[in-house]
Structure 1
């Protein structure tokens, strides 16, 4: 059974972060260390010093200039508002007992992983070449949505890793089908490859499998990345200037935000051009 457009858009809306409906969970539950991405150290469960009493960020409009680039490339895929408003029924971590606060912080990363999987499954269902596996994808999407609606204690005990493996089987089949029509054969299988700082200017990576590849600071200027599988690829500080990513799939906004690009970079419809790219170009 095919979903109607209204159902699909409702799901996609739920996979987009809505910080106004979240209790600043990513600013409290997650840890970070002083580095090029963060200007300070913070333990898990400790509120960021920039978190306001209304759960907003006090430096949201100047995160990069303030040394918090890591915050600008993070996406909860809507898990923050789901945990805040659905799993815990609108009860925030400040107003409850310590046990509930700890539970909320433990559940948040679990739901975040489930929402990321939903994002990939939703995209896979939009790919015509993957039509042979669409029935299985729809069943897995429904099962993943069911898991997001579990209670807090059930979510805390969920083996999300095992579920991710089941989803990945379908995503791999999707990848094979999509790339087969783009000339992505065994020659272009760079899954998990260490390409940190690699000189790939103008490289022919059309239909390549770059799942989990380390492309940190790689020079991909003018590279052909059309219809490439980029799920989990680390694009931090990679140069995508004038690269062609038309039809590239399983590419998320955080990956694009972490990279560098230009006005000549061609992106798939699933992501938007980062505002900071204009300054770089």
Structure 2
């Protein structure tokens, strides 16, 4: 399974595929509108069909792209939603489409589902991953606009957000041909500048672990306030009691990271999906707008 990198990269592109986000765990970051939060009731189960997944600790079995999950019901809901982790589908509780599912289902395809209109299926499944990345960018841009230290960039951030929003309303054909990597690179440049402005307000020397391999690292009580952890591999890292205030965590792979007692106050570009993949406890301090996962 490939990893998330520096940034913004869709978890759906890093191996967490074929999933149905749990409503209690969907969404992230403060201030983003409901359009950027998964609404499974208005989606045609796209994450359960369009995306592939491979048998692993995250998924109990293989599933090819475009093939409906065997647990997908006729009403497009998950048949084992209440026990996804127990059934070996913990990856399904991590994935977040940022509202792309309902956008593709109800706006791009006007409420026509792929079962009743099978001629739309292939195109719908191709457009979904593109829309998911656009919505993720909107999520980050929305957060950036609300960060006071980045007020000097608000004009550029607003322009980027408006441009990305317009793309989400494009026809399916245009979406399928969109150069998403180029758009992501453009937005990422703005987000990096935003990050620097925010972290520059943190006193003292800040650690730079951008893209670092910290798999299994012992970082208990680490002083990482204002640190650059963009795209860092924090898989199974022990961050218990770590000071992660105002740290940039965009694209960091936090699967099985231990966050018990960690302070994430003001951490920027942290998503709910990252928290859902990690392990924390009642002492973990979260930024506003993020919720404590049910499995913690």
* CA distance in structure 2 between the aligned counterparts of 1:11 and 1:174, rounded to whole angstroms: 17
Instruction: State whether residues 110 and 155 of structure 1, in contact with CA within 8 Å, keep that contact through their aligned partners in structure 2.
Output: yes
Q: Which of 244, 269, 274 is residue 250 of structure 1 equivalent to?
A: 269
Note the C-alpha offset of 1:10.
Answer: 10
Q: Quick check: 1:118 aligned with 2:138?
A: yes
Alignment length, in residue pairs? Answer: 267
* CA distance in structure 2 between the aligned counterparts of 1:184 and 1:205, rounded to whole angstroms: 11
* CA distance in structure 2 between the aligned counterparts of 1:39 and 1:184, rounded to whole angstroms: 46
Deviations 1:180-203 (A, max 9, x none): 001375x51111000000000000
* Compared CA separation, residues 184 and 66, structure 1 to 2 (3 A): farther
Query: RMSD of aligned C-alpha atoms?
Result: 1.3
Instruction: State whether residues 31 and 146 of structure 2, in contact with CA within 8 Å, keep that contact through their aligned partners in structure 1.
Output: no
Deviations 1:229-259 (A, max 9, x none): 0000000000000000000010000000000
For normalisation by structure 1, the TM-score amounts to 0.93
> Helix, strand or coil for the counterpart of 2:139?
helix
Q: Quick check: 1:152 aligned with 2:208?
A: no
Structure 2 unpaired stretches of 5+: 1-29
Larger of the two Rg values belongs to structure: 1
The higher-RCO structure (CA 8 Å, 6+ apart) is: 2
* CA distance in structure 2 between the aligned counterparts of 1:193 and 1:34, rounded to whole angstroms: 27
* CA distance in structure 1 between the aligned counterparts of 2:192 and 2:235, rounded to whole angstroms: 23
Structure with bigger helix share is 1
* Compared CA separation, residues 10 and 227, structure 1 to 2 (3 A): closer
* CA distance in structure 2 between the aligned counterparts of 1:210 and 1:227, rounded to whole angstroms: 11
| Aligned equivalent of 1:195 | 214
Deviations 1:211-242 (A, max 9, x none): 00000000001000000000000000000000
| More displaced stretch, 210-219 vs 264-273 | 264-273
Q: Which of 44, 48, 54 is residue 27 of structure 1 equivalent to?
A: 48
Note the C-alpha offset of 1:95.
Answer: 1.5
| Aligned equivalent of 2:25 | none
| Aligned equivalent of 1:271 | 290
Q: Quick check: 1:216 aligned with 2:261?
A: no
| Aligned equivalent of 1:141 | 161
